[in-house]
Amino acid sequence: MRMGLFALSVFAALAAHPAGADELRGTGSLGIVVERTAGAVAIVDIGRRAVIGRVKGLGDLSHASAVFSADQRFAYVFGRDGGLSKIDLLTGTLAARVMQAGNSIGGAISDDGSLVAVANYEPGGIRVFDAVTLVQLADVPAIGADGKASKTVGLVDLPGRRFAFTLYEAGEIWIADFSKRRDAAGVRPQIVKLTGIGRLPYDANVTPDGRHYLAGLFGEDGVVHVDLWRQPLVANRILDGYGRGEVKLPVYKMPHLEGWAVAGDVLLIPAVGRHELIAVDSRSFKEVGRVPTHGQPVFAVVRPGGRHVWVNFAHPRNDTIEVVDAATLAVVRRFAPGPAVLHMEFTPRGHEAWVSVRDADRVLVYDAENFEKKAELAVKTPSGIFFSARATRIGQ
C-alpha cells in the first residue's frame, strides 16, 4: 500500500523532530504522594523514580486518600477537612476543588468512572459528585435504625455502579445502587441496609473480584462478611472473639483494612490491639493461622501476584517493615527504612515497593524481589502513596 503525501509528510516531520519525554507522557506511569503537613501532593513518575510536579492548596491531608479516573489522568484526593480535590496528573495542576463536608474519611469512584463518592464523619453519610465537574449529584445521610446519625467509614466501589459503606455508631452496612434512578435533580440510589452487624465497624474492604465485603469491628473482636453475589444479602460474623482470653493492648493507630487483599489462598487481616495478623481462608472465611508480628499492624499490603505481604506498624514500633510469605505464614524479611513508616505501594506488576518515611522526609524505593534499595525521593512528610494503576482495580 502506498503512503499518501499527507501521511508521508507527517511521518517525515515526526522523524525529524521526535517528541521529547517532557512533551508526551503516559498516565499509567504516574502517581501521587501525599505531603501530610503541607496540604500538597507530589506527582511522581514511577518508571523514572522521580518527583515531576507538586500541587498545593489541598487543605488538611492528615488522613488523605485518593482514587483515579478511568483514563488514569486525574487523581481525586479526599482531605480530612471535607475537601475533595481533582488533580490533573499531566499538567500538574488543581483542576477542581469543593468543600463538601466538615470532616471526611476517604472516598471511592464508580466502576464506570462517572461518580465520585465521599464518606463523611461530619455530618455523616456519603455525598456523590459528577467525576468531570465535581457538581454534587446525591446526598445520602447515614441515619441508622435507631434514628441517629452515624459517621460513615469503609466506603468502597462495587461492580454495577454501586458503593458499600458502614455506619460506625449504628453498626450497619449499606449497599447503595446508583445504576437505575436518574433525574434532573441528580442520581437517587436504591439502598439495601444490613442492621445489627456488630459494634463500631471501623473500616472495610472488598476482595479484588468484587464479591466479598468485609468490615472490621472496633467495639468487639470480630469481622463481618457479606457475600455480594448471594441474594438476599446477609451479614455474617467471622473471626468472632479472636482475642478471647487475652488482654487487649492499647490501640495507638487503627488498622487499615483497605490495605489488604487476597494473598494466594488467604486473607491476612490486621487484628485490633494485637501484635499479629490473622490468616483467613479466602473460600470458607475461617481462620487458618496467625502470624506474630513486630508490633500492631496498620497496613498489610499484598504484592501483585499474591506471594508476599508487606506490613507496617503503629507507634512506637513504626520504623519497621516485615514481609510475610503467604504460603508459609512466616516472616521472611524484617528491615527498618526509618522513622514513621506510614504507607507502602507496589508498582503495577509488583517489581518495586515504594515506602513513605514521614519523619525522614523521604520516599524509599525497594526492589520487591531482593529488597535492595533502588532510590530515595525527597518528599515533605510523606504519607499515602497512590499509583494511577489503581484505576483498573475494584475497591481501589
Instruction: Report residue 264's pLDDT band, with 50, 70 and 90 as the boundaries.
Output: confident
Inform me whether the pLDDT recorded for 153 exceeds 50.
yes
Evaluate whether residue 87 is within a structural domain. yes
Q: How far apart are alpha carbons 199 and 196 in whole angstroms?
A: 8
Instruction: Report residue 254's pLDDT band, with 50, 70 and 90 as the boundaries.
Output: low
**118 and 355 Cβ atoms separated by less than 8 Å:** no
Q: What distances in angstroms separate CA 200 from CA 173, 205, 224, 359, one per listed residue? A: 11, 15, 11, 31
Evaluate whether residue 170 is within a structural domain. yes
Q: How far apart are alpha carbons 169 and 218 in whole angstroms?
A: 11
User: Would you state the pLDDT for residue 381?
Assistant: 97
User: Would you state the pLDDT for residue 263?
Assistant: 85
Total structural domains within the chain: 1
Evaluate whether residue 391 is within a structural domain. no
Evaluate whether residue 160 is within a structural domain. yes
- Tell me the average pLDDT across 355-379: 98
Please provide the average confidence, as pLDDT, over all residues in the chain: 90
3-state secondary structure the chain: CCCCHHHHHHHHHHHHCCCCCCCCCCHHHEEEEEECCCCEEEEEECCCCEEEEEECCCCCCCCCEEEECCCCCEEEEECCCCEEEEEECCCCEEEEEEECCCEEEEEEECCCCCEEEEEEEECCCEEEEECCCCCEEEEECCECCCCCECCEEEEEEECCCEEEEEECCCCEEEEEEEEEEEECCEEEEEEEEECCCCCCEEEEEECCCCCEEEEEECCCCCEEEEECCCCCCCEEEECCCCCCCCCCCCCCCCCCHHHCCEECCEEEEECCCCCEEEEEECCCCCEEEEEECCCCEEEEEECCCCCEEEEEECCCCCCCEEEEECCCCEEEEEECCCCCEEEEEECCCCCEEEEEEHHHCEEEEEECCCCCEEEEEECCCEEEEEEHHHHHCCCC
Evaluate whether residue 60 is within a structural domain. yes
- Tell me the average pLDDT across 314-331: 96
How do residues 179-194 score in pLDDT, each as one tens digit?
986 655 567 899 999 9
Inform me whether the pLDDT recorded for 170 exceeds 50.
yes
Evaluate whether residue 11 is within a structural domain. no
Nine-digit cell at 26? 503516559
Q: How many CA atoms lie within 13 A of 42 on its CB side?
A: 25
- Domain holding 107, by residue range, is 51-246
Q: Which residues contact 126 (CB under 8 A, 6 or more apart)?
A: 117, 118, 119, 120, 140, 142, 152, 155, 163, 165, 176
- Tell me the average pLDDT across 12-41: 74
Q: How far apart are alpha carbons 376 and 362 in whole angstroms?
A: 6
User: What CATH number does residue 215 fall under?
Assistant: 2.140.10.20
Please give the backbone phi and psi of residue 301, each rounded to the nearest 5 degrees, phi first: -110, 125
How do residues 73-100 score in pLDDT, each as one tens digit?
999 999 999 999 999 999 999 999 999 9
Evaluate whether residue 184 is within a structural domain. yes
Evaluate whether residue 94 is within a structural domain. yes
Inform me whether the pLDDT recorded for 59 exceeds 90.
yes
Burial per residue of 100-131, b for 16 or more beta-carbon CB atoms within 10 angstroms, e otherwise = bbebbbbbbbbbebbbbbbbbbebbbbbbbeb
